[in-house]
Amino acid sequence: MNLEGRKIIVNKSSKELVEILKSPENYKDFMPDGLQKFETREDGFKFGLQGMPEIALKIDEVTDRKAVLKSASSSLDFSLTATINPLNENQTEVQMLFEGKFNPFIKMMVEKPLQNFINTLTDKIEAYK
């Protein structure tokens, strides 16, 4: 299952954005309303949203072109990638891409909430100061 967020322009240099995305604490600022739990770990974070099971993510890779978060649970196989495309010194294009391997039943249950989650992350990153 592949999902995409819309492409956005962030008013930060790609270098600034990469530094933000390297730190697990900063992801709390991108979480949707309804966040009930947020715990940082050395290499990632765990969060819980109202009406959803808790999800643990690890920051797998951050380069000047992408930030990759992967599921920390062996029972769920997915990644969330932010593609980073510098436009100029103060602006960077970002797009969120979700890739997951789910059986058809799970896919049916999670597709819409995941797309909403990606859309919210996209909106929060776009508005990030």
Whole-prediction pTM: 0.92
Please report the pLDDT score of residue 76 as a whole number: 82
Q: Where are the beta strands (DSSP E) in the chain?
A: 2-4, 8-10, 35-41, 44-49, 55-62, 66-71, 77-88, 91-101
Q: Which domains does the chain have, with CATH numbers?
A: 2-127 (3.30.530.20)
Q: What is the pLDDT along the chain (129 residues), one digit of tens a residue?
A: 999 999 999 999 999 999 999 999 999 999 999 899 999 999 999 999 887 888 999 999 999 999 999 999 877 889 999 999 999 999 999 999 999 999 999 899 889 989 999 999 999 999 987
DSSP class of residue 100?
Answer: E
